[in-house]
Structure 1
């Protein structure tokens, strides 16, 4: 398969069940639409059910809607229970939803909004659904990160919720770095099972609603530059779609746009920041995430040889 991978390269998805979070608009919508067009049974897991229903109607195919508010662990548990009652198996979970550059806000459980929504909500959802995936050969967990994982990004274990010091840019970077560390640690735990893999992706710079909270000082320059430096949501969704469907994808890989600085272009295998590969931090983040969410996974750390 050539470097210019497109939606036309998505294999047939009939018989696969896919859950896509944040799928009523932007990247999630384009991801879900493409999967549905290839025959997948797709669930739009969204906070606004009415918007989700309108999105599903535009897609056609076997598409349904599930209420999910990732900023509430009660909602995450309810959504997981509903999905478990509807489906006996799950082939694909796309952890796509997210918030970006929000002012200092807290989730319903008291977590910083970006870390709580982007990382902890998806961590909990994955843990609650994973036993539907483990028996399914070829099943995948795809988590959407960002080039923002490189910007002022670290896992601040001494102030995870930004209670002592808060920067919306640094908090976003922390949440997106956490997405990658979660993927890499999840893959380490999945590898002995040989059925399910964890993969990450990022969309480059795409024209979506995600940037609506961009700080005022950056908003006007980005508005001027947007036509030049951003790509459409359909293009931005391609790395996620490749991670989700390309038969050649391996667990623990990371896909992004192939152009300069990974800003735009057709999807290819990319690498993340050196910090993201720190196994000790990955494992510490995992333990803290289990503690904060109360969710444990049906996969353990492989025994050291």
Structure 2
């Protein structure tokens, strides 16, 4: 089954247990007092972020989540048992919204961060609660309150340090497989990657980072064309964008491909347009030296280094890894709120 990055689901907290009407029946005590216990609180539904999960696959098989009802009160002042909570585990980067209003309720970005999606109903009061000096034998008890219930929507935005972007067939999947131990599907036709793929990039001097090969972008993606927002949603949270271009297609086409990606980023979000990018010209094994220098010169106006590699032939990969490692270290030292380039 494929990657799932959006789902609609129903949550229902447990109802509270009912209070009990009961009186003591003791030998040699002609008029026993009230001893009805309270009902137990219904269980609540919690959504919990889990760093071990990377997709919403479970929501394909289950869309209703219900917590346990509270137990009813009993005689002899015995209170009902509280209902068991229902825990829904989701990946980091999950955004929970109200399905009707589309209002964002919570953004789960840390491991074990929990959100109470539906609160359990309070238990009802037993008749022992209503005893007073003027009413020594109350026959009143209250029912348990209903638990909350909602239809919710969950959207997943991958939390990755580096996001691979580029048009279909630019060689991103091959590059991910060379930089990490990931094993994405690789073939010589567009849209090989229909789902985001994650890999771990290791450095000898620093902590590893997460790198994501995100579905290829086409013109009009910000309007939902092609894979549309399925692509753009996932790059919102990447610290660095690694823009991969196929350098073998010719200078004019390569520049057009570059412009397409930049226009889509800008149309989707001004913040994405200014996100730190590393531009990589791929498939240089198909070029001679003169052609390569001409391709590099096309981007001299950017004022930033342009890297030339061949993911397939493993050319230039060590230099690329070193550059990425330095940028990640720089980003981490500044803090996660600084995602833009200099």
What TM-score range do you get, normalising by the shorter chain?
0.3 to 0.5
Taking CA–CA contacts closer than 8 Å with sequence separation of 6 or more, which of the two structures ends up with the larger relative contact order? 1
Taking structure 1 as the reference length, the TM-score comes to: 0.35
